[in-house]
Structures are given as structure tokens and as C-alpha cells.
Amino acid sequence: MNDNPQLALFPDIVIIPGILAMLGLIMALLARRKHRNPWLWGTSGFFLFPIAIWVLAFMGYLCPMCKQALTKKQWKERICPDCGDLRTQDVRRAC
């Protein structure tokens, strides 16, 4: 057996940041799905995952064109009040 205490800490030094990086990646993917800034949410997920996941879970979707907040009904129907129908990208006015 190796009695070197520094080698015993090596797995913690590698595993814990790896797990935090995976949590940050999960947050970035969830943020991208809601058309939010994935870098900001990925970083916050890396450092504060429990808080960030709750905040992002209750935030609504953003319109991919004008970045206006959409209600759940508007997101499901893919209709932005400013941009129009998001399925056909039929824009009523410039955003």
C-alpha cells in the first residue's frame, strides 16, 4: 500500500471538478433549450447548481428572434406576440 496522503487526495481533485463540469453542462443545455445564455447558466450551474436549477426551472422560454419572454401557452403554440408564428417564421414586424 502507498502511504502517501497526497496520492489519496488525487481522485477527489479530479472527480469533484469533473462532476461540477457535468452539472454546468446540464445547466447550459437546459438554458439553450429555453433560449437563454448557455455560458452564463453553465457557469452558474458549475458553482451554484442547486440554486441555478431551481431558478432556471421556473423561468419561461424566450422568443428565439426578439428574446421577449413567452408564456407557456405561447411557447407550445409557437406564437410570439411581436414576431408572429415561429413555426413558419412569418414575421409581422421587424424585431
Q: pLDDT tens digits, residue range 13-57?
A: 788 899 999 999 999 999 999 999 999 999 999 999 999 999 998
* 95: three-class secondary structure by DSSP: coil
What are 93's three cell numbers? Answer: 414586424
Report which DSSP code applies to 59.
Answer: S
- Cβ neighbour number for residue 86 with a 10 Å cutoff: 18
This prediction's pTM: 0.71
Query: Burial, 80: exposed, middle or buried (Cβ in 10 Å; 0-12, 13-18, 19+)?
Result: buried
Q: Which residue has the cell 421587424?
A: 94
Q: pLDDT tens digits, residue range 59-78?
A: 888 888 888 888 888 888 88
Q: Which residue has the cell 445547466?
A: 27
Q: In angstroms, what is the C-alpha Rg of the chain?
A: 20
Q: Residue ranges per domain, the chain?
A: 1-59, 60-95
